[in-house]
């Protein structure tokens, strides 16, 4: 496997108090980066900061991912605390409904698109305007955590799947517009063993794993790398 180092780099990872987001933050810190992580719940976020090695390596800021004021605060804190901003990982995502789309209230769809797509765009816009990828921090990179649900019909994930399809295309558009100064990529995991995805595998893990070529579910550490 290719050796990767992020020594001296600074990253923002949204939704990083647990699961895939925390796994990504762990991987970045292990490879030499410092991270600013966000989440909605203070206690869980502070525990994540401790798990990442404390304030020398990580800063936690509580807030809602789709709050533009919160986004500005986090980006400013990254530069004020660690002196630069190199990476942004849009990991926050919600899926408040499960089942036939026609049974879903329209406001649910709006909220999912707001958090999973428009919020990701706003984070990118804020970070780039604050200097991500500028000459003083070359090699800027953005990663959007999408989902395999954005690549094919699921029959059950409805607006979540639609939002991830939109996020994948947003990634493609911004990669074209921001490259080569800033690389923009997405990762599209299948079912990963996290609290967020429990409804997809609990009680039938073997059957779900059988649908994968490797015959196992994903884990946050693998997605992080």
Q: What is the pLDDT of residue 197?
A: 56
**Chain CA centroid to CA 154, Å:** 21
Q: What is the pLDDT of residue 207?
A: 67
Residue 224 contacts residue 21 (beta carbons within 8 Å)? no
Active site residues: 160
Taking the C-alpha atoms of residue 169 and residue 188, their distance in angstroms, rounded to an integer, is: 12
Q: What is the pLDDT of residue 154?
A: 83
pLDDT digits 0-9 by tens, 121-144: 999 999 999 999 876 667 899 999
| Pairing between β-strand 182-187 and β-strand 58-62 as defined by DSSP bridges | unpaired
Q: What is the pLDDT of residue 209?
A: 62
The order of strands in the sheet holding 34-39 is: 58-62, 34-39, 10-13, 87-90, 140-145, 182-187
Q: What is the pLDDT of residue 1?
A: 43
Compute mean pLDDT per 10 residues along the chain, 225 residues long, and list them. 77 95 95 97 97 98 97 97 96 88 93 97 97 79 94 88 97 96 92 60 62 71 83
Q: What is the pLDDT of residue 222?
A: 83
Reduced to 3 states (helix: H, G, I; strand: E, B; else coil), residue 182 is: strand
Q: What is the pLDDT of residue 194?
A: 60
Taking the C-alpha atoms of residue 116 and residue 122, their distance in angstroms, rounded to an integer, is: 11
In order of their start, the domains of the chain are: 10-224 (3.40.50.720)
């Amino acid at each position: 496997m290719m050796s990767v180092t992020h020594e001296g780099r600074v990253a923002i990872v949204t939704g990083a108090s647990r699961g895939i987001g925390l796994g990504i933050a762990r991987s970045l810190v292990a490879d030499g980066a410092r991270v600013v992580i966000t989440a909605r719940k203070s206690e869980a976020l502070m525990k994540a900061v401790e798990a990442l090695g404390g304030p020398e390596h990580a800063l936690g800021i509580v807030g809602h991912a789709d709050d533009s004021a919160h986004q500005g605060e986090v980006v400013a804190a990254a530069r004020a605390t660690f002196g630069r901003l190199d990476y942004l990982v849009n990991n926050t995502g919600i899926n408040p409904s499960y089942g036939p789309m026609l049974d879903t209230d329209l406001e649910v769809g709006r909220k999912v698109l707001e958090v999973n797509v428009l919020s990701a765009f706003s984070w990118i816009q804020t970070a780039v305007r604050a200097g991500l990828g500028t000459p003083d921090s070359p090699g800027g990179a953005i990663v959007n955590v999408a989902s395999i649900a954005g690549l094919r019909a699921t029959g059950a994930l409805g607006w979540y799947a639609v939002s991830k399809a939109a996020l994948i295309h947003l990634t493609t558009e911004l990669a074209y517009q921001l490259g080569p100064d800033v690389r923009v990529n997405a990762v599209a995991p299948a079912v990963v063993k996290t609290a967020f995805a429990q409804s997809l595998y609990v009680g039938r893990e073997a059957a779900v794993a059988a649908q994968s070529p490797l015959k196992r579910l994903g884990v946050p550490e693998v997605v992080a790398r």
